[in-house]
Structure 1
Amino acid sequence: MNFIDPSAAVDSSAKVGYFSVIEKGAKIGQNVVIGNRVTIHEDTVIGDNTTIADGAVVGKPPKPAKTSTVKLSDSIPALEVGEDVTIGANCVIYRGAAIGSNTLIADLASVRENVEIGDYVIVGRGVTVENYVKIGSRTKIQSNSYITAYTTLEEQVFIAPCVTTTNDNFMGRTEERFDKIKGATVKRGARVGGASIILPGITVAEETFVAAGALVTKDTEEKTVVKGIPAKFLRMVDERELL
């Protein structure tokens, strides 16, 4: 019912559901629970006490389109998943990512290669995390948000549902764009409200509060509330809300 390559190291305490595949060189830790129809690709490392729900694809080798701005190196390291991680149903996590301990990757989320995710992070249902993204510990990304390539979210950032980050002011036109692609940097403790849009290269300063539906076109100042299209200063963040 399952295929487990003889070279895979699967701890005897691990539980594997039906019709799952574990490819060569994979390492499965203690008390790992693997659901039905899960694919764990070559050399993937799964930490102790991790749960992988039905239909997940873990450690998928990347293969970008010929027209993609992202170029892969010849050698991409194996996916490493820390301890006590939960990977939801039908998630796709690529080879070359690193997932910290006690992190949740919810149902239908996608995490690309060359991504670093810290400890105690929540990546919500249907979230897309593109390549070359860094996400700090205890950050929360709510359902259906889009984290574009070359974005940094520092520690304890809150990203509300349906937030969009962008990285290309040329939207795919001209050769000049290749040297200028850059995602947002959202600094420690910043909060970004639902359905907001952050333009390429913007820095959202520490403890900034971006109101729902805002269009952030300029760097923000620390501990400020910004709102509107384009986003403008409204007031300072209440001291009671600061970390």
Structure 2
Amino acid sequence: MNQPSAIGQNVVIGENVQFGQGVVIGNNVVIYEGTKIGDYTIIQDNVVIGKQPTRAKNSILPEVKKLPPAVIGSGCTIGTSSIIYANATIGDEVFVADLATIRERVTIGKGTIIGRGVAVENDCKIGQKCKIETNAYITAYSELGDYVFIAPCVVTTNDNYLARSQERFGQFKGVTVKTGGRIGANAIILPGKVIEEDGTVGAGSVVTKDVKERELVVGVPAKKLRDVSEDQLLKNQ
């Protein structure tokens, strides 16, 4: 079994953690048992990997006694004070910036960037080469395709009932952003809404209806302004 090529002070490594070649670990890192970490991944100070979720007494999430370990790919960087929960799977060459949180049962594709302070909640799927910028919030049960761009402070939501009434149980639905979709800064996406391929949401907009393929929407509520210009389409990049 490989050992980290460099390791800082006050590091806690659980049983049966598997390291690839050339892994670098900073100070005060906690890696829980069974975690798998690929070749040449850098884990910066104060990172926690493989944390088991703690369920609140009144949580709507099903109780799970113990989840499988986290898996981190090769060539990743995990930024200072980030937390990656158990049963998260991080692809190769993913960059996770400082203070990010990636919850349980999340998958992140190769080459994606998770910005500073981003929260990716449980049961999300994020594709390859996405960019999710500072302080964006990806709500539980969401799915992002490849090459998705999420600007700073975007908020996605999954509960139409705002935590009231029994009717909400079983009806939580995250957002879907298909390949090449883009969302501008401070936009809000309401539960269950779908942004189709190359669909684009302007900054500060509130999306209350699905966004069609190659459509640019703006405003509160968001409405179509025009089609996305040809030079901005993913196929032309």
| Structure 2: gaps (5+ residues) | none
- 1:194 lines up with 2:196 in the alignment: no
Q: For residues 110-169 of structure 1, what are the alpha-carbon distances to aligned partners after superposition, in whole Å with 9 as ceiling and x for unaligned? A: 000010111000000000000000000011100000001001111100000000000001
Matches within 5 A, 1:151-166: 151-166=142-157
In 2, the alpha carbon distance for the partners of 1:77 and 1:60 equals 10
Alignment correspondent of 2:134:
143
Alignment correspondent of 1:51:
42
TM-score normalised by the chain length of structure 2: 0.97
Instruction: Give the Å deviation of 1:71.
Output: 1.5
Cα 1:79–1:13 change in 2 (3 A) is closer
- 1:211 lines up with 2:194 in the alignment: no
Instruction: Give the Å deviation of 1:13.
Output: 5.3
Aligned alpha-carbon RMSD (Å)? 1.0
TM-score normalised by the chain length of structure 1: 0.94
Alignment correspondent of 1:61:
52
In 2, the alpha carbon distance for the partners of 1:55 and 1:14 equals 18
Contact 1:184 1:199 in 2 (8 A): yes
In 1, the alpha carbon distance for the partners of 2:59 and 2:154 equals 23
What is the total number of aligned residue pairs between the two structures? Answer: 234
Instruction: Give the Å deviation of 1:12.
Output: 3.9
Q: For residues 198-243 of structure 1, what are the alpha-carbon distances to aligned partners after superposition, in whole Å with 9 as ceiling and x for unaligned? A: 0000001110110000000000111011000000000000011111
In 1, the alpha carbon distance for the partners of 2:125 and 2:117 equals 18
Alignment correspondent of 1:29:
20
Alignment correspondent of 1:86:
77
In 1, the alpha carbon distance for the partners of 2:181 and 2:100 equals 22
In 2, the alpha carbon distance for the partners of 1:182 and 1:72 equals 19
Cα 1:13–1:74 change in 2 (3 A) is closer
Contact 2:52 2:66 in 1 (8 A): no
In 2, the alpha carbon distance for the partners of 1:225 and 1:175 equals 36
In 2, the alpha carbon distance for the partners of 1:158 and 1:221 equals 16
Matches within 5 A, 1:107-186: 107-186=98-177
- 1:238 lines up with 2:229 in the alignment: yes
Cα 1:82–1:72 change in 2 (3 A) is farther
Off by >2 Å, runs of 4+ in structure 1: 72-75
Instruction: Give the Å deviation of 1:28.
Output: 1.4
Find the residue that maps to 1:179 and give its secondary structure: coil
Contact 1:14 1:28 in 2 (8 A): no
Of 72-81 and 191-200, deviating more is: 72-81
Instruction: Give the Å deviation of 1:33.
Output: 0.2
Instruction: Give the Å deviation of 1:75.
Output: 4.5
Instruction: Give the Å deviation of 1:72.
Output: 3.9
In 1, the alpha carbon distance for the partners of 2:63 and 2:37 equals 23
Find the residue that maps to 2:169 and give its secondary structure: helix
Cα 1:188–1:72 change in 2 (3 A) is farther
In 2, the alpha carbon distance for the partners of 1:27 and 1:12 equals 8
